[in-house]
Amino acid sequence: MKALFIGGIKSGKSFLAEKHSLKNATSKPYYLATTEFIDPEMHERIKAHKMQRKENFTTIEEPLKLHYVVSQLDALVLVECVSIWINNMLYHEKNFDEMKKEIKDILALDKDIVFVLNDVGSGIIPQNKLARQFVDISGKLSQLLARECDEVFHVIAGIGTKIK
């Protein structure tokens, strides 16, 4: 089973993805945290996520090598979040083809995986090149994930609607 939870920032997608993961896991699931860049505000976000998930998950932090980590794990994996991972990959000068290959390789694994992704496609075209690149890559990878996942949930205001 592979599932995608997509929605705006603070839409409630992480909370619903965690509930979905716990409901579908046959053993203690993994929480693959992708955040790499820590400033005081991001530190507070991470702290809130940790409090939300309590001890229900085994947390692994990996900002880049998602396929490698997921391939080593023996239980359901919640990838939180693909958007931050895209940011990390761009920061480390990885291109779209490298990101697409990584996501395809993860999707090919015979494992239960839940992905969380920010929906950035409903806004305007950003002014700067890097932001446009991020939006384009995020949009293309969200289409790939949605096409290949068994379930897709769109989350708005804490309400998840199954769209696939």
Residues 101-113 pLDDT 10s: 999 999 999 999 9
Q: Which pLDDT value is given to residue 53?
A: 66
Upstream peptide bond of 149 is cis (omega within 30 degrees of 0): no
Q: Is 43 a catalytic residue?
A: no
Domains detected in the chain: 2-155 (3.40.50.300)
55 or 161, which is more confident? 161
User: Is the full-model pTM beyond 0.75?
Assistant: yes
Tens of pLDDT, residue by residue over 1-55, are 999 999 998 899 999 999 999 999 999 999 999 987 677 777 676 667 676 667 8
Identify the active-site residue in 20, 43, 49, 67: 49
Residue 52 in contact with residue 99, Cβ under 8 Å? no
